[in-house]
Amino acid sequence: MDFFSDNSVGASPRVMAALAAANAGSSTSYGKDAWTTRVEARFATLFERKVSAFLVLTGTAANALALASIVRPWGAILAHEEAHVVEDECGAPEFFSDGAKLVDLPGTGAKLTPQAVTKTLSHLRAGDVHHVQAQALTITQATECGTVYTPAEVRALKEAITPRGLKLHMDGARFANALVTLGCTAAEITWKAGVDVLSFGGTKNGALAAEAVIFFDPADAEEMTWRRKRAGQTLSKGRFLGAQFDALLAQDHWLDLARHANACARRLAEAVAKGGAARLAWPCEANEVFLVLPPAVRQRLKAAGIGYHDWSARSLAPEAALKDGEIVGRFVMSFATEPAHVERLIAAIAG
């Protein structure tokens, strides 16, 4: 049983059917096709305003190109110390921004606070030629610890950076899962809360390989056409990216997929909270469950053939610190997770 990642499963059958349908006949190249045009209109409807949408293949490309579009080479990007852009993208944000500096901050549950951001900004003096110039803040939704920013929390972060003129980027690799939990609109958690650019995830939520960069101000998107091409992310057969998002966004399929994943995660979290054999490292607010696992539980999981990732304990609250022999384990649910497998996982944890 594989609970390693929502990258481990394939694509939604609807997405695969859409790709097969798009494969028939010929179409205009480089994103000028009917599928991509339709997706751009869907994004405008979803976000309740005209947006500039750019489709790419990977989340790394989406994040790196989004940040490069709003930060200069002498700029600084503030991020949580465990953010994907800091730990898992092999320097891509720095590379594509021609050298902008990532400044990482701590935060419980992988969430940043306005206080932490303000403190860091106070050490990066504006206009000082010896300092990189703070130009962007990036947050992850849902975070690397499975927690979720509320609209009020996003607005508070925006208010903290507004006096210095920073742009706000949201890494939404699991945006669908966060949105399902919040129960708000896509507009309310993005531009209405102060987000300037969003990396809209598809691959972790039913796509084969498709991400989107959504700019809410056309002025921020002026360089993206060239940056995407220069990065090798402008597909000649762009209709296959458009077809994936067209299938996901139609009839809220993307949200239905996220609801299933979140429900599986919630079932596990609730069972663990009642059982007592393990404990939650952070609240389960999306499709990931992080458990503090004693040695005996780890042995049972290994014997049952259950796969999960060991995880960092850096973002634990002080009162949740690990005891001798304990580790944090990450269990990720997807649109394809079988409820029966979740029940077997619960039984293995309980012993």
pLDDT of residue 29: 92
> Is there a contact between 132 and 101 (Cβ–Cβ < 8 Å)?
yes
Measure the CA–CA gap between 49 and 324, rounded to whole angstroms: 52
Same-domain status, 113 and 258:
no
Same-domain status, 271 and 244:
no
Model-level pTM? 0.97
Long-range contact list for 293-299, CB < 8 A, 24+ apart? 293/326, 293/327, 293/328, 293/329, 294/323, 294/325, 294/326, 295/325, 295/326, 296/351, 297/349, 297/351, 298/327, 298/329
- pLDDT tens string for the chain (351 positions)? 999 999 999 999 999 999 999 999 999 999 999 999 999 999 999 999 999 999 999 999 999 999 999 999 999 999 999 999 999 999 999 999 999 999 999 999 999 999 999 999 999 999 999 999 999 999 999 999 999 999 999 999 999 999 999 999 999 999 999 999 999 999 999 999 999 999 999 999 999 999 999 999 999 999 999 999 999 999 999 999 999 999 999 999 999 999 999 999 999 999 999 998 999 999 999 999 999 999 999 999 999 999 999 999 999 999 999 999 999 999 999 999 999 999 999 999 999
**Assigned domain for 8 exists:** no
Give the three-class secondary structure for 288.
Answer: strand
> Is there a contact between 110 and 82 (Cβ–Cβ < 8 Å)?
yes
Measure the CA–CA gap between 141 and 92, rounded to whole angstroms: 19
Same-domain status, 19 and 100:
yes
CATH code of 263's domain: 3.90.1150.10
Same-domain status, 31 and 137:
yes
**Assigned domain for 137 exists:** yes
Of 157, 142, 165, nearest in space to 72 by CA: 165
Same-domain status, 26 and 103:
yes
Same-domain status, 190 and 46:
yes
Q: By residue range, what is the domain housing residue 306?
A: 254-350
**Assigned domain for 1 exists:** no
Measure the CA–CA gap between 250 and 223, rounded to whole angstroms: 29
CATH code of 147's domain: 3.40.640.10
**Assigned domain for 111 exists:** yes
Same-domain status, 172 and 101:
yes
**Assigned domain for 152 exists:** yes
> Is there a contact between 242 and 55 (Cβ–Cβ < 8 Å)?
yes
Same-domain status, 73 and 153:
yes
Measure the CA–CA gap between 60 and 113, rounded to whole angstroms: 24
**Assigned domain for 264 exists:** yes
**Number of domains, the chain:** 2
Same-domain status, 53 and 169:
yes
Q: Which of 222, 251, 280 is the last residue of a domain?
A: 251
Q: Which of 211, 226, 251 is the last residue of a domain?
A: 251
Same-domain status, 174 and 190:
yes
pLDDT of residue 332: 98
